[in-house]
């Protein structure tokens, strides 16, 4: 029934003319704050309301953190935790664009095997995601540029296997800014003002701008060479 309803809705809209997915899997029941979701309890929600608050990839990450045959407990706090976890992966991946030289598609075979072992264990996505986080820890400990590039490429390709990290890091990390009331242009203007204050050795003003942006939900990260990037908190 779920397949018929899903394909009927998608094909009926005329937005797609090819198979949506190759494999269908039935997830465990969704619970809301540890209670069964039902209209009679009034604790149900609509997908469109969730997507108005969270990036679709955050919702996917939240689903993948649970085994597909296990019940899933839905709450805003669980979605916030998923957003924090996905932000950690994207923050690590953002280092790839900062590495010099030509980037390759080389994947570390040992990490690939660990990831595959988890996925081969009845599609154990929680264990596979745990491997990704261990890989991020290894990336942060690695100082050799070539090795770091290989590990970052490994993170990217393994994550893509389960439909994660398909956006650019900048796109994802900066996507939440409308909720804090600052446009990207306003943030960039503040960063430019901070750079000018630092150049004039007015470090108190520079620190004040950083703190003000932090209070608005924007985190600045100073990079080698005097560049500054930003992401939402």
Express as a percent the part of the chain with pLDDT over 70: 91
**What is the separation, in whole angstroms, between the first and last Cα of the chain?**
40
pLDDT at 174 over 80: yes
pLDDT at 16: 64
pLDDT at 163: 94
pLDDT at 150: 92
pLDDT at 76 over 80: yes
State the residue range of the domain holding 65. 2-171
Our count of domains for the chain comes to 2
**187 in the same domain as 97:** no
98 or 64, higher pLDDT: 64
Q: Is the pTM of this model over 0.85?
A: no
Report the C-alpha gap between 3 and 17 in whole angstroms.
Answer: 15
**46 in the same domain as 145:** yes
Q: Which of 131, 154, 171 is the last residue of a domain?
A: 171
**87 in the same domain as 202:** no
**203 in the same domain as 132:** no
Tell me which residue of 209, 200, 133 sits closest to 164, measured CA to CA.
133
């Amino acid at each position: 029934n779920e397949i018929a309803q899903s394909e009927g809705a998608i094909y009926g809209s005329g937005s797609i003319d090819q198979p949506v997915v190759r494999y269908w899997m039935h997830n465990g029941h969704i619970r809301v704050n540890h209670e069964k979701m039902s209209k009679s309890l009034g604790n149900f929600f609509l997908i469109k309301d969730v997507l108005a608050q969270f990036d679709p990839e955050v919702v996917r990450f939240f689903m993948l953190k649970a085994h597909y045959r296990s019940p899933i407990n839905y709450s805003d706090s669980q979605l916030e935790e998923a957003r924090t976890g996905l932000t950690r992966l994207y923050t690590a991946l953002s280092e790839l664009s900062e590495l010099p030289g030509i980037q390759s598609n080389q994947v570390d075979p040992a990490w690939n095997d660990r990831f595959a072992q988890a996925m081969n264990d009845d599609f154990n996505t929680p264990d596979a995601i745990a491997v990704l986080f261990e890989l991020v820890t290894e990336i942060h400990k690695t100082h050799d540029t070539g090795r770091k590039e290989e590990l970052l490429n490994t993170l990217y390709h393994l994550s893509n296997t389960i439909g994660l990290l398909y956006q650019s890091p900048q796109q994802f990390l900066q996507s939440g800014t409308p909720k804090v009331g600052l446009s990207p242009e306003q943030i960039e203007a503040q960063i430019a003002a901070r750079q000018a204050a630092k150049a004039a050795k007015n470090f108190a003003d520079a620190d004040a701008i950083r703190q003000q942006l932090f209070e608005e939900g924007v985190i600045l990260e100073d990079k080698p060479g005097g560049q500054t990037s930003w992401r939402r908190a």
